[in-house]
C-alpha cells in the first residue's frame, strides 16, 4: 500500500518517507521515490539511506533520509 499525507507539515518543513515492512521482510538499506512520467517511464525523484525508526506489533518502521 502507498499512502501519503501533508497534514501537519509546514511549507518549509523537512518531509520524510516512512516505510513499513512486514517483520518477515528482508531489511533494506536504500530506497527510492519514483514518479511515472506522462509517457509511462519511471523517473527517480529521490534516493536515500533507510534508517530504523521503531517497531509496532506487526511491522518494522523505517525512515528514508
Average confidence (pLDDT) over 21-36: 84
Average confidence (pLDDT) over 31-41: 92
Buried b (16+ CB within 10 A) or exposed e, 28-39: eeebeeeeeeee
Identify the pLDDT of residue 12.
82
- Domain locations along the chain: 17-64
What is the spatial distance between Cα 65 and Cα 49, in angstroms, rounded to a whole number? 6
Identify the pLDDT of residue 44.
95
| 9: pLDDT strictly greater than 90 | no
- 27's grid cell: 531489511
- 35's grid cell: 514518479
Q: Who's near 37: CB < 8 A, 6+ residues apart? A: 43
Mean pLDDT of the residues in the chain: 77
Amino acid at each position: 500500500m502507498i499512502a501519503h499525507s501533508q497534514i501537519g507539515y509546514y511549507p518549509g518543513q523537512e518531509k520524510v518517507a516512512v516505510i513499513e515492512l512486514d517483520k518477515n521482510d528482508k531489511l533494506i538499506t536504500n530506497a527510492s521515490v519514483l514518479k511515472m512520467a506522462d509517457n509511462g517511464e519511471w523517473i527517480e525523484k529521490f534516493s536515500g539511506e533507510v534508517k530504523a525508526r521503531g517497531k509496532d506489533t506487526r511491522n518494522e518502521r523505517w525512515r528514508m533520509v
